[in-house]
Structure 1
Amino acid sequence: MNIGDPAKPYFLDVDTGSDLTWLQCDAPCQSCSKVPHPLYRPVQNKLVPCADSLCTALHSGLGRNNKCSSPKQCDYRIKYTDSASSLGVLIADNFSLPLSKSSNIRPSLTFGCGYDQQVGKNGAKPAPTDGLLGLGRGSVSLLSQLKQKGITKNVLGHCLSTNGGGFLFFGDGIVPTSGVTWVPMARSTSGNYYSPGSGTLYFDRRSLGLKPMEVVFDSGSTYTYFTAEAYHAVVSALKGGLSRSFKQVSDPELLLCWKGQKAFKSVFDVKKDFKSLSLSFATGKNAVMEIPPENYLVVTKSGNVCLGILDAAAAKLSFSIIGDITMQDQMVIYDNEKAQLGWMRGPCSRSAKSAMSSSP
């Protein structure tokens, strides 16, 4: 996204699982990862004061240890489930956003200037992004701010392609009028997540005899996580259905991997050897999310095929997460106006423009 005056480019991690957008920031920086672009430099007069309603909302969402060190600024400290964190102050600056009618708007939006990030092991690894794009349900989320300013409806969608790339949209301009599976948004028991409610898991269209599990959609999670019981049931069903030509091997990338008679190049080499999973949601009419093998398997650098579903209990999560791997090649729509979530299978390698022209 292009932010600031003059606008400069930044890469952001698209996260529907948290609210605050932030950039690694030279305020000056105490701990920043090596990022793709020069650090954002804040200007004193862009500071958001402590009394601002977005500061109050952010603090009430983040809990007790967030307070202002001075009335002139809004300090925050945010921790993520993978124990990464960002410490900083709120800033308001212009975002240059392309409208579908090919003009640009430049609203002033509030985001975090993070000058102390702890990511991974001491933040030593270079980061692929300059910061995070928070698209959750809270009022400080970029989406809520665009709605509040009357720029777009409070609707968001993304389409991630199996080939890399894809598109993201705000507003309801390209939401398809048919073909989408919709479920009402459920209140997540843990935090402010987008949740389609409880889902029952099936393997190869057969029930695994599991009780329904709470599911959330989180584009900030690369992999999908299933609660312990479901995870172990899937692992044993997969192992039981695999031919002898697959041998279990260890691979640094993921926990459960197999090698074949020769190295695999893509998930599509092994698709026919694995069965589909599906999640059925009682809240929607025939609301089923199909999870074909390419939506839960990864082929690693070493040519092994690995399971891209992890055990939620090992990650100290009490619910299941549908992550990016399972969202590939489906348009996922978060409609806060009608309090519903939707998904629709289809290639995401097309641009948003061609998606627009094919939907009324």
Structure 2
Amino acid sequence: MAAVWAPVVGHLLLLALLPSTSSHMVFDLGGNVYPTGEFHATMHIGDPAKPYFLHVDTGSNLTSLECKVGSKVPHPVYRPTRDKPVPRNNPLCNALHQDVGEPEKPHKTVCNYEIHYLDGSWSHGVLIHDKFTLPSGITKPDIAFGCGFEHGGSHETTTGVDGMLGLGRGSVDLVSQLKRNKIITKNVFAHCLSSKGGGYLSIGDENVLSSPVSWVPMAPRTDRNHNHYSPGPATLHLDTKSISTKTMEVIFDSGSTYTHLPEGPHAQLVAALKASLSKSLKEVRDPSLLHPCWKGPGGFKSSDDLKKEFKSVMSLKFHNGATMIIPPEKYLIVTGHGNACFGMLGRKDIGDMCIIGDITMQDQLVIYDNEHGRLGWRASQCDKKPKSKSDIFSRM
């Protein structure tokens, strides 16, 4: 009988020794670059908790839910109660406005906001708070987030999500709030986006800091680079050829599906890429509206087929000597029509910035170490989720 009870007693002792909060949590991600256009985590919000799909966005420091009645979202629209708004004089409201700026028409009693995103879209709403049920299910902290009533602009996201999971470099982002609530001990998180679809988001895991990765210091926060994660300036190369003598300010933005380049370097890159291709590829138009696109001799069925026809490798070389390698499967997508389309877009309105989107982050563990002010990345199998302490409870 003692032998039967020994494992149970062991588990009970383990539970007694573990803290009531989790210092490390892992969320499964759904979605893909194409055709979904986003990666999302399922967050359980409210009491009783209800599930919502939130687009993982390192370019926004505010988590938000769509609250407009009639919105086309996967789950029933979140309905806040009257006792949930964050007051206008609350420190969280002041912190939010320091991050995103004061709204044109500030409310007298509640904390309203206006956010403008890198892709030109915008959102208006009210800051509220509600309970978030975390993976362990034990702690349900109150987290402040935006309840959006108006939005517009050229959203890259689809109606496949209920809102945004703000992980940007700010004061009211989810990770900062979890640390203030003593749910995690370190302001560290990492995401791994799989080219097969899905992936995972890890929050508070200190083990990733000792991983063999390419580390680059975070660029200082400035008026221009205020809420964004930037490893600083880099030069763009195609194979051994430098695309431009000018450096670009790189920004990591998981809220962008594709990677964005200034018009000049983009045109130079496309010209250099075309010159490197074999005559077996034919340039075609594709319903995805991406450009340029190519048809191969037998068409393309998966990213593995890209390697047979596209040999050129891109790279971003940073000031400290670190390099981000960008093989064909991280700058091309295979569409539903069997074409290979270029997943880097040229833009007039971003100056000399290079916005690294999901397509280029695929199959890489990207680490945001706010404790030491650095960013890191390494090749990884993102379809294999690591274990967390919460797994102990899920197996009991």
TM-score by length of 1: 0.89
The residue that corresponds to 1:295 in the other structure is 330
Distance 1:294 1:104 in 2: 40
Partner of 1:3: 45
Name the CA distance, whole Å, in 1 between partners of 2:89 and 2:61: 19
217-226 or 146-155: bigger deviation: 146-155
Shift of 1:65: 3.0
Q: 1:257 to 1:230 in 2, by over 3 A?
A: same
Q: Is the 8 A contact 1:174 1:355 kept in 2?
A: no
Name the CA shift for 1:298/1:223 in 2 (closer, same or farther; >3 Å): same
**1:59 aligned to which of 87, 97, 120:** 97
Cα distance, 1:280–1:316 mapped onto 2, change above 3 Å: closer
Match of residue 295, structure 2, among 241, 249, 259: 259
Answer yes or no: is 1:118 the counterpart of 2:155. no
Shift of 1:115: 1.9
Q: 1:171 aligns with which of 195, 201, 204?
A: 204
Q: Distance in 2 between matches of 1:198 and 1:135?
A: 22
C-alpha distance after superposition, 1:36-81 (max 9, x if no partner): 000111011111100011111222333343454232x111122223
Against the structure 1 CA distance between its residues 209 and 116, is the aligned structure 2 distance closer, same or farther, given a 3 Å change threshold? closer
Residue 298 of structure 1 contacts residue 307 of structure 1 at CA under 8 Å; is this kept in 2? yes
Q: CA deviation at 1:218?
A: 0.4
What SS class does the counterpart of residue 208 from structure 2 fall into?
coil
Q: Deviations over 1:252-278 (max 9, x none)?
A: 310210112222101211213221111
What letter is aligned with 2:317? S
CA distance in 2, matches of 1:355, 1:210: 48
**Equivalent residue number for residue 19 of structure 1:** 61
Shift of 1:317: 4.8
For 1:322, the aligned partner's letter is I
Alpha-carbon distance between aligned partners in 1 of 2:387 and 2:355, rounded to the nearest angstrom: 30
Q: State how far apart, in whole Å, the 1-side matches of 2:154 and 2:347 are.
A: 19
Alignment correspondent of 1:92 = 129
What pairs up with 1:144-155 in 2 under 5 angstroms? Answer: 144-152=176-184, 153-155=186-188
Match of residue 9 from structure 2: none
Matched, 1:326 2:360: yes
- The CA deviation string for residues 312-360 of structure 1, in whole angstroms up to 9 with x for no partner, is 32x5454101110000000000111100000010110001328999xxx
Aligned to 1:347: 381
Q: CA deviation at 1:96?
A: 0.8
- Find the structure with the greater CA-based Rg: 2
How far apart in 1 are the matches of 2:302 and 2:138? Answer: 39
Q: Specify whether residues 287 and 126 from structure 1 end up closer, same or farther in structure 2 by C-alpha distance, changes over 3 A only.
A: closer
Structure 1 CA distance for aligned equivalents of residues 274 and 177 of structure 2: 47
Query: Size of the alignment, in residue pairs?
Result: 344
The C-alpha deviation readout for 1:105-154, integer Å capped at 9, x for no partner, is 21100001112233559x9x971100011111110111111122222211
Equivalent residues of 2:248, 2:352 under 8 A apart: no
Give the 4+ runs in structure 1 shifted more than 4 A: 354-357
312 and 126 in structure 1: CA distance in 2 versus 1, 3 angstrom threshold: closer
Amino acid at match of 1:330: Q
Does the 8 A contact of 2:296 with 2:309 survive in 1?
no
CA distance in structure 2 between the aligned counterparts of 1:325 and 1:136, rounded to whole angstroms: 19
Partners of 2:285 and 2:300 in 1: CA distance: 15
Determine which of 46, 49, 65 is the counterpart of 2:84: 46
Alignment of 1:61-210 (within 5 A): 61-71=99-109, 73-99=110-136, 104-118=138-152, 120=154, 127-152=159-184, 153-175=186-208, 177-187=210-220, 189-210=224-245
- Between the aligned partners of 2:287 and 2:78, the Cα distance in structure 1 is 34
Contact 1:156 1:170 in 2 (8 A): yes
Q: Distance in 2 between the 1:246 and 1:81 partners?
A: 34
Q: Judge conservation of contact 1:21–1:142 (CA < 8 Å) in 2.
A: yes
1:241 positional shift: 0.9
Structure 2 residue ranges without an equivalent (≥5): 1-42, 392-396
Of the three residues 277, 282, 286, the one matched with 1:247 is 282
Query: Displacement, 1:251?
Result: 1.3
Distance 1:243 1:268 in 2: 17
Q: 1:94 deviation in Å? A: 0.6
Root-mean-square deviation (Å): 2.3
Give the distance between the partners of 1:47 and 1:64, measured in 2 at CA: 17
